[in-house]
Amino acid sequence: MPKTIFTGDNRTVVEALRQARLQAGLKQAELAARIGKDQSWVSLVEGSQRRVDVVEFIEIAKALDVDPVKLLREILGRLG
């Protein structure tokens, strides 16, 4: 059984979110607390086991003190 149920573009989104979290100097549990989720939720997202919707994406970006539009543009640039 594959480790992830999502491939391709979702991996790019996940990696951008993970990098933004690391650049913010936050652990998964700290990000989770900021957005009112469990650490396991963040782990599922970063492990490509769960997708985030646009509202969750915005919440995550704001919790990381990152402009959601800027982060999305970065992702779109990676996707080509």
Domain for residue 31, yes or no? yes
Range of the domain at 41: 9-79
Q: Tell me what pLDDT residue 6 has.
A: 66
CATH number for position 61: 1.10.260.40
Q: Tell me what pLDDT residue 67 has.
A: 98
Q: Which residues of the chain have pLDDT under 50?
A: 1
Among candidate residues 37, 39, 74, 69, the one with its CA nearest the CA of residue 54? 69
Q: Tell me what pLDDT residue 57 has.
A: 97
Domain for residue 4, yes or no? no
Q: Tell me the C-alpha distance between 69 and 61, whole Å.
A: 9
Domain for residue 3, yes or no? no
First and final C-alpha spacing in the chain: 30
| Tally of structural domains, the chain | 1
R_g (Cα) of the chain, nearest Å: 12
